[in-house]
Structure 1
């Protein structure tokens, strides 16, 4: 479940990067450098989250901390959205993040992520 939610978040970031790219070509920008930086940053985050998703599916332990930090950032964005009246945006960003945070600390996920990947168990 964690890998799929993080994978969907990576896909959403990639779609946002494509939207930002089209907007950079179709709308006037105050700062071209800022627009390029934002596009590169969003695509880099999408690639990083995709790597976390794939490696979480494989059972690598480092993915738990990366997924946890990303979900904390999502909650930090969702709470102000909820408080400012953007209920749908806040729920879409907050509910999956809280679910992933919960599941990251369940015994099954912790046991699964103690592997080094490739089906090998650590002793």
Structure 2
């Protein structure tokens, strides 16, 4: 996202259908998404359970972006987005990842409270 934000910043002076206010807002959105990804990544490696939902939500958006690249005639970019998203979907539900994030139901026996 930071690379996309820098690329967008460098191309803000070019002609386009969006006025400067819209371009600045888009740059803000890109920077906010980069900050959000940094925070999710930081807390993911610390094992916070809420990060799994945030990472999965981002992967859903990544799949949507990948489909738009496929329909836009850029299948290699689409594959470059789709393959990591699919791998992350699978890895976030791996039993080791579930244990790392503190799935309280996996370790509790039936009838007991965690």
> Is the shorter-chain TM-score for this pair beyond 0.5, marking a shared fold?
yes
Which entry has the higher C-alpha Rg, 1 or 2?
2
Unaligned 5+ segments in structure 1 are 1-12, 116-122
Runs of 4 or more off by more than 6 Å in structure 1? Answer: none
Normalising to structure 2: TM-score of the pair?
A: 0.83
Q: CA RMSD in A?
A: 1.6
Aligned-partner Cα distance in 2 for 1:97–1:67? 10
More helix by share: 1
Is structure 2 residue 17 aligned with structure 1 residue 27? no
Number of aligned positions between the proteins: 103
Q: Give the counterpart of 2:88 among 90, 100, 104.
A: 100
Tell me: higher relative CO, structure 1 or 2? Use CA pairs within 8 A at least 6 residues apart: 1
Normalising to structure 1: TM-score of the pair?
A: 0.77
- CA displacement at 1:78 relative to structure 2: 0.8
Unaligned 5+ segments in structure 2 are 104-113
